[in-house]
Chains A and B, each alone.
Chain A
Amino acid sequence: GAGVSQSPSNKVTEKGKDVELRCDPISGHTALYWYRQRLGQGLEFLIYFQGNSAPDKSGLPSDRFSAERTGESVSTLTIQRTQQEDSAVYLCASSLIPGSNEQFFGPGTRLTVL
């Protein structure tokens, strides 16, 4: 596909369950970002992958959150033992480095923790 894709588009889970969110970046984009957007709030940076460098995990809110990326392709964001405050839209973005830091965003995954 031409753009960033994310799956699932919606996820409803029970408190305490683990969830896995997937992001497929644009082919050739070396940088990949995960953000969280709570209802009515701005983007909250979670984690950033750039090529083969160690990821910047400074935005992960707790050790229940982790993310992996295979080379310069798919990334998964895993939330363990979900809590109600984890409910949000999780957005993934990719950008082409070097050259431009314009980020292309996916449609997001809406996570609802009951």
Chain B
Amino acid sequence: SQELEQSPQSLIVQEGKNLTINCTSSKTLYGLYWYKQKYGEGLIFLMMLQKGGEEKSHEKITAKLDEKKQQSSLHITASQPSHAGIYLCGADEDETSYDKVIFGPGTSLSVIP
């Protein structure tokens, strides 16, 4: 079965700094999702990537899926305290997208003002 790993496990950065979170799969990624979970709240969908080499941006958050479709990176530019939370990557278990999405363990981000 597919497994997702995320690195780093946790991250503490100074406000204004850039940072990158990685998500690596043991198998080809057919659909890769990034979610954010604020402490004590629900999960919020950030973006979805499907094609190798695809890159999407939302405000100061950019995510990319590598050409081999086994790794995705999430990059935050000029981090702010509002970016703090747990970032989770999720992936379709197979290419039909009729099956369940599995999630990585998450990366906890803290931004120090």
The residues of A with any CB-CB pair to B shorter than 8 Å are 33, 35, 41-43, 45, 48, 50, 56, 91, 93, 95, 97-98, 100-108
Q: How far is the CB of A55 from chain B (nearest CB, A)?
A: 10
**Dominant SS among interface residues on chain B:** strand
Number of B positions contacting A (CB below 8 A): 23
Binary flags per residue of B5-44, CB closer than 8 Å to A gives 1, else 0: 0000000000000000000000000010101000001111
B105 lies within 8 A of A42 (CB): yes
Residues in A with CB closer than 8 Å to B45 are: 102-104
A91 touching B97 in the complex, CB below 8 Å, given contacts A41-B105, A42-B103, A102-B48: no
Which of A41, A43, A93, A97 contacts B98, CB < 8 Å? A97
Using CB atoms, name the residue of chain A closest to B92: A101
